[in-house]
Amino acid sequence: MGKGAVIVALCAVLVGCTRVIDTPPPASGPPIAPIAAGQIEDLLSDDAQKGDDGNLFVTVEPEDCAGVAREVDPPFIFDAKPAAHSGGHWDAEVGGRVVYVEEIVAIYHADFDARARVADVRRTIESCRNTPLTITAMDGDSYVFAMSQAAESESPEVVLWSFTANSWACDNTYVAAHNAAIEITTCSEINGYDVSALAEDALKRIDALANTKL
């Protein structure tokens, strides 16, 4: 998350800023279930808002580690080819500092393997743990981050990770269950925001939608 001012989403660039529902597959293809594409906005938290500006992380080097930090077309969400996706942003003040939060949500077809996807995300994060990350924001500023110690989640559907630079630090999460996934990025001057609580709330939203009868 590029970080000179309050971060909000750039509709022209950030895919999560507007709801997008891709063309449904032919009748012979897998359905979009149990969560329907039309429920995409319900995956966002009540805090998430739309916006028209932003300074998000747009490139990550090396490219193999792009999923760790990229907020524009985030690979952890888009590599699995969602049937619908959306997103929003918000900020919170904690201990006198501002924390910038981005949410990217996606719904997939019924053959989406959430457990395998979580495993893929874990492998990517572990493979990048000792790799310096050069991350460029939309405004052209670049930062060199290093992976840092993150909290552990007791939920198998949740991945948590953190990375830190001289002036910015991020605590992120990826949550996948049923046919949906939510990625949340939180960045501020230092690490320590309770992204684990955001992850658990995200998982509850996914489970609730999966059990909703339309």
Sign of CA dihedral 16, 22, 28, 31: positive
Look at residue 2 and tell me if it is in a domain. Answer: no
Q: What is the total count of domains within the chain?
A: 1
User: In this structure, what CATH number is given to the domain that contains residue 41?
Assistant: 3.40.1000.70
Distances (CA, A) of 22 to 29, 82, 85: 14, 8, 9
Look at residue 4 and tell me if it is in a domain. Answer: no
Look at residue 5 and tell me if it is in a domain. Answer: no
pLDDT, tens only, 91-127: 999 888 999 999 999 999 999 999 999 999 999 999 9
Look at residue 51 and tell me if it is in a domain. Answer: yes
Predicted confidence at residue 186, as pLDDT, reads: 95
Look at residue 187 and tell me if it is in a domain. Answer: yes
Of the given ranges (108-112, 182-186, 192-196), which has the lowest mean pLDDT?
192-196
Distances (CA, A) of 48 to 28, 44, 90, 99, 140: 35, 6, 6, 13, 26
pLDDT > 60? residue 175:
yes
pLDDT > 50? residue 20:
yes
Which ranges of the chain does DSSP label H, i.e. alpha helix?
Answer: 66-69, 75-78, 114-127, 195-210
pLDDT, tens only, 60-95: 999 999 999 999 999 999 999 999 999 999 999 988
What is the residue range of 164's domain?
Answer: 15-210
